[in-house]
Amino acid sequence: MNDLDANLRTLATKALATIAEMYPNSSIAKKLDGTDDYSYETLIGVWKAGLTGLTEIQVNHGITTLLNSGDTFEPPLPVFLKMCHSVNPPKHTHYVSLPAPKKNNSQASISHYSKSIKDELIRIGMTPSNGETQHEYAQRCRDYVNVNHGGYARVVGSCE
């Protein structure tokens, strides 16, 4: 049994066990009691097939929807699947990182900053060094903020 199949079996078993607890006199509960291996394995196989492609979040949503439904009988698999599909999986599950930024090898300068910012950079000794690139200067400024200000930049100018 591969990992995907094992995970799907675990998901189906959890869903069925929860439904059996919610409906102790149901046919699901009777098939899960362990007296008939064939019925048990058939039930697991059918639910595995039905839950294929669903996330754990969706199955948990289906169980929550079933619990809140007030139904007195367990749902058939197609009805339970509709309950699972009534939630959209999170949009952020497939993370694709951004490409690394290109390093800027041009000469660092503070000429484009306003006078107050230039004055503050001069006051704290954070002007670009001779031959320093914009990228190197930005890294040095970041390190200065992290070391001297706990990772937080302060407002430029005096607060007094």
Shared domain check, 7 and 74: yes
How many distinct helices (H) and strands (E) make up the chain? 7, 0
Residue 74 lies in a domain: yes
Q: Domains in the chain: how many in total?
A: 2
- Does 58 fall in a domain? yes
In a domain, 95, yes or no: no
Q: What pLDDT is stored for residue 101 in this prediction?
A: 66
Summarize the chain as % helix, strand, coil (round to 5): 55, 0, 45
Residues 71, 118 share a domain: no
pLDDT digits (tens, 9 = 90+) for 140-152: 888 887 777 665 5
Mean pLDDT of the region 149-157: 54
Amino acid found at 32: L
Q: Are residues 71 and 10 in the same domain?
A: yes
> Position of tokens 């607890």?
21
Range of the domain at 147: 104-160
pLDDT tens for 101-135 read 666 678 888 888 899 888 988 888 889 988 888 88
Task: Check whether residue 120 and residue 63 sit in a common domain.
Answer: no
Contacts of residue 136, defined as CB under 8 A and 6 or more positions apart, other chains included, come to 108
pLDDT, tens digit, for every residue of 58-87? Answer: 999 999 998 888 888 888 899 999 998 876
Establish if 97 belongs to a structural domain.
no
Bridge partners of residue 107, in order along the sequence? 133
Same structural domain for residues 25 and 73?
A: yes
